[in-house]
Amino acid sequence: MDRDRDRIIQYYSGFDEWGRLEREPIEFMINMHYIREHLPPSGMILDNGAGPGKYAMELAKRGYRVTLSDLTPSSVEQAREKAEAFGLTQQFEGFHVLDATHLNGIADDTYDAVLMLGPLYHLQKEEARIAAVRELYRVTKQGGVVFVAVQTRMRMSINSLQSPQHWRPNDSMDAIQSFVERGTFDHQDQGRFTGAYYFRVQDVVPFMEQHGFETVQLIGSSSLKAVLTDEQSHYWKEQGEEQGLIQYMIEAAKDPSILGISSHLLYIGRKL
């Protein structure tokens, strides 16, 4: 597990996650739309696996009391700096370097809502995924809402078929078939997204419900953006219809038929 942790920390220490969400804003916009829709009007929020804190800052701006945690020390430090730069430090209860499978020092039944928008991408062993979801359950108040992101096996298999050289070792049909069976992916090229786990769409809801959550909604965070090229998106922008396209993608995100092609899903549940 230490080796796995180290390579994930190394990857995110050199990756601009804040910039990714700025460059590809639709995922953030869709997630925030549904997060706002289901959050209580006020309260305590844990952003668990927050990276540099893009979601945490938005929630702090809206008046929530936020605790931030992440596995990568440099991401936690970046989040602390962002909070200071935005004048939001007083909204934060703390910035913690923590593993999602062991939220040491976080008390039981503390939070009105918990975000976990990254840790399940990198927990390749089932016992680790179970540990993370049990910790999520433990720190959430009874009736509290959780927002959990996963990546999809079908979309990754499509990506591999479309761009095999970009996703080595998924550059042969045998490797892709093996990936589809296991759901784990370790990039062959140094410094690329690796140590990953991808869910089958049909497994997400049962997995969360087995660990004490009532399902509220499952949405496709990247929605139709996953199938539009930059050129195709640009056409609608040129037509002056960018806002209309964004609104349609937000609505389409909750259509069950979108789930398999969306690279990221957002599970929304409630602690029973």
Confidence (pLDDT) at 18 = 63
Instruction: Say whether pLDDT at 190 is over 90.
Output: no
pLDDT in tens, 36-53: 999 999 999 999 999 999
Distances (CA, A) of 77 to 68, 91, 92, 188: 11, 16, 13, 29
Confirm whether 91 is domain-assigned: yes
Residue 104 structural domain? 3-152+199-271
Kindly report the CATH number assigned to the domain that includes residue 231: 3.40.50.150
Report the alpha-carbon distance of residue 263 to residue 156 in Å, rounded: 7
Whether residue 245 contacts residue 236, with contact meaning beta carbons closer than 8 Å, is answered with yes
- Model confidence at 186, pLDDT cuts 50, 70, 90, reads confident
CB neighbours of residue 215 within 10 Å: 14
Residue 180 lies in a domain: no
Q: Are 229 and 177 in contact (CB under 8 A)?
A: no
Per the domain annotation, does 188 fall within a domain?
Answer: no
- Enter the pTM of the model: 0.93
The reply to whether 170 falls in a domain is no
Residues 6+ apart with CB under 8 A from 190: none
Share of the chain above pLDDT 70, in %: 92
In a domain, 173, yes or no: no
pLDDT digits (tens, 9 = 90+) for 52-98: 999 999 999 999 999 999 999 999 999 999 999 999 999 999 999 99
Flag whether 234 is in a domain: yes
Give the chain's domain count: 1
